[in-house]
Amino acid sequence: MAINVAVQWECQSGGDDNNGGGFKEGASGTDYSQQTTAQATTTTATVVNATTSRIDVDSGDYTCTDADIGNIIQIYGGTATAGFYEITGRSGQQWFLDRAVGTAGQTVVAKMGGCFASPGGMSAATTNGANSYNKFWLKSGTYTLTNATGRTSGGPWVSDNLNGIVLEGYENTRGDFGTAPILKAGTQTNLILFHHDRANQMTFTNLKADGESQTGVNGFDADYSGVRYFLCEALNCDAATTNYGFQSGKAYRCNATNCGEGFDAMGHAESCIAKGCNTGFINTVVVSNSLAFDCVNGISAGTLNSVANCTVDNCSGIGVVGGLYLYLAGTIISNCVQGYDSPSSQEHLIQVAFYNNTSDGDTGEIDFDTIALTADPYNDSANDDYTLNDTAGGGADCVVPLGVNGSNTTIGALPQVTSGGAGGGLLRVNMNGNVFG
C-alpha cells in the first residue's frame, strides 16, 4: 500500500515542518491538516506493534479516536522509519497505517495533523511518503528561505518522483486564486525557488517567487517539459542576465518582472507578461498573446519558433530577434531602438505592425502586409495599459479582417478598448490587474 492519491497537503505560516501536514479528501475522519498545531504528538512511549503497519499509541501521549482516520502522521524521531504515513483505520489505541513503519517495539516520535511551516518542508513529503496526483496547498503569506537545500525545512520547493501533482497558492479558502503566497530568497544564493526534477507532469498555480536579486537565484523551472505554470509570477531574478523567471514547460497567464530572462526555453508561453527583463522571452517554441515591455530585448526567438499576437514595447535593444524559419504574426513592435533583427532570409512576418522605433530593422524578409503605424496605438502604455485605442494610424489600423462572416480581430496581445466599450476578443489582464475585453 501507499498514501492514497486523494491526500491533500497544507502549508501555512505558523505551522511546523514536523507536523503530519496532510489529510485524505473524503476520509471518514476529521481534517486536522489545516490547523497550525499538531492534533497529536507521540513520544518514545509509543511503539510499533507486532503487526508492523500498526502503531500502539501510548495513552499518555494521545487518546486515539475515529476522527484520526485519513490524517497523516510524520515520524521524525525514535527508532521507527522516518516518513509520512496515512492513518487508514483505528482500534482502541492502535493506528492502522498504509504500510509498515519498522520492526516491532521500535519507538515512534511523531506528529499527527497540523500543517507545514515552509514550502521546502512540505516538499520533503514528495520523496518520503506522498503519492502521484496528490495536491499541495500553500496559504498566502511571505515565506523566506533560511537555507538553500531543497526538501528541507526553510529550504526551496523541490519535488521529485511523482506524476500529476499540483502546488497551488490561495488567499483565504483553497481554490480562491486570491493573493498569491510569496517565496523569497532572503540571503540565500545559487538556487531555484520552485523546482520539479521529474519527467512527469506537475502544475504550479498562483505562486510568486522573489529572487531578491541574490546571486544565482532563479524562479521556476523543471528538468523536463511536463511542468505547467498558471497564474504565477517571478520577480527580481536578475543578479545575472542568465538568471530566469521561468524555464522549461508551459506557462499561461504568468508574469516575469525584473529577471535576466523572463521566460527561457519554454514549450509555450500564452497570455504572459515580461517586464523589465534583460530578455523577455528567449528560445521559447511558441509565444502567443503575450507582452514584453521595458526590457533590453523583448523576444529572442529560436529556430522554427512562432511568435503570434504579441505586443513588444519600449525595449532599449531589439524588440524581436528572429530565428531561422521564424513565424512572426499579428504582433506590434513599438518604441524600441531596433524593432526587428533577422539572422537569415527565411523568416515570415505576417501583419506585423511597427511604431516609433529608432529603426524598424530587418523588415525585408518574407513579409505579408507589414503595417507602419503613424500614431500611438495604445490607450495608456505609461500605466501599462496596452489595450488598443481607436486612433486612425494607431489602434484603428491594428484591427484586421478575421475572414469569418465579416468579423475582425486585432493585432497585438490585447483587444481594442474604446470609449464606447470593449472590442471583440478574449478577456485580457494588464499588469495592474485591470480586465479588458
For the segment 343-352, the average pLDDT, to the nearest whole number, is 81
- Assign 395 to helix, strand or coil: helix
The answer to whether residue 245 is domain-embedded is yes
Among 21-35, 226-240, 269-283, 352-366, the minimum mean pLDDT is found in: 352-366
Statement to judge: residues 156 and 103 lie in one domain: no
Does 203 share its domain with 239?
yes
Residues 198 and 245 in one domain: yes
**pLDDT over 70 for what percent of the chain?**
94
Backbone angles phi, psi at 124, to 5 degrees: -60, -30
Pairing verdict, β 268-270 and 250-252: parallel
Angle at 89 between CA 83 and CA 93, to 5 degrees: 85
Asked whether residue 366 is assigned to any structural domain, the reply reads no
Which strand ranges, in their side-by-side order, compose the sheet holding 191-196? 157-159, 191-196, 217-222, 244-247, 261-264, 279-282, 297-300, 318-321, 338-341, 359-361
Show which of 246, 266, 286 is a domain's final residue.
266
Instruction: Please indicate, yes or no, whether residues 125 and 86 belong to a single structural domain of this protein.
Output: no
Is residue 427 over pLDDT 60?
no
pLDDT, residue 425, reads 33
pTM surpassing 0.85?
Answer: yes
pLDDT at 366: 63
373 versus 2: the higher-pLDDT residue is: 373
Q: In the block, which residue shows the cell 536579486?
A: 213
Percent of the chain with pLDDT over 90: 82
pLDDT the model gives residue 421: 38
Distance CA 312, CA 289 (A): 11
Indicate whether 173 and 54 sit together in one domain.
no
Please work out, in degrees rounded to the nearest 5, the angle formed at the alpha carbon of residue 210 by the alpha carbons of 209 and 216.
100
pLDDT at 199: 61
Residue 177 pLDDT more than 90? yes
Domain assignment present for residue 349? The answer is no
Claim to verify: residue 187 and residue 259 sit in the same structural domain: yes
153 and 183, same domain (yes or no): yes
Q: Is residue 320 a part of any domain in this protein?
A: no
Per-residue cell: 93? 489505541
Averaged pLDDT score across all residues of the chain: 92
Q: Work out the pLDDT band at 67, boundaries 50, 70, 90.
A: very high
Q: Within this chain, do residues 169 and 70 fall inside the same structural domain, yes or no?
A: no
Residues 124 and 262 in one domain: yes
311: part of which helix (H) or strand (E)? strand 311-313
Over residues 38-58, the pLDDT tens digits come to 999 999 999 999 999 999 999
Residues 261, 162 within the same domain? yes
Rounded Cα distance between 121 and 113, Å, is: 15
User: What three-state secondary structure class fits 67?
Assistant: helix
pLDDT (average), residues 265-294: 97
For the chain, the first-to-last Cα distance in angstroms comes to 50
The total number of structural domains in the chain stands at 3
Beta strand 291-293 pairing with 311-313: parallel
How far is residue 135's CA from residue 123's CA, in Å, rounded to a whole number? 11
Handedness of CA 285, 367, 360, 342 (dihedral sign): positive
Looking at residue 363, what is its pLDDT? Answer: 63
Return the pLDDT at 137: 98
Final residue of a structural domain among 63, 91, 112 = 112
Whether 351 has a pLDDT exceeding 60, the answer reads yes
Considering the domain architecture, whether residues 155 and 212 belong to the same structural domain is answered as: yes
Local structure of 332: helix, strand or coil: strand
Residue 138 falls inside a structural domain: yes
Domain contains 299? no
Same domain, 252 and 144: yes
Q: Is residue 429 predicted with pLDDT exceeding 70?
A: no
- Please state which of the ranges 135-149, 235-249, 368-382 shows the lowest mean pLDDT: 368-382
Confidence of residue 100 (pLDDT cuts 50, 70, 90): very high
- The domain boundary, picked from 59, 90, 112, lies at 112
Host domain of residue 401: 380-436
Whether residue 203 lies inside any domain: the answer is: yes
Q: Is residue 286 part of a domain?
A: no
Express each pLDDT in 352-393 by its tens digit: 999 999 999 876 556 677 899 999 999 999 999 999 999 999
User: What's the rounded mean pLDDT across residues 149-178?
Assistant: 95
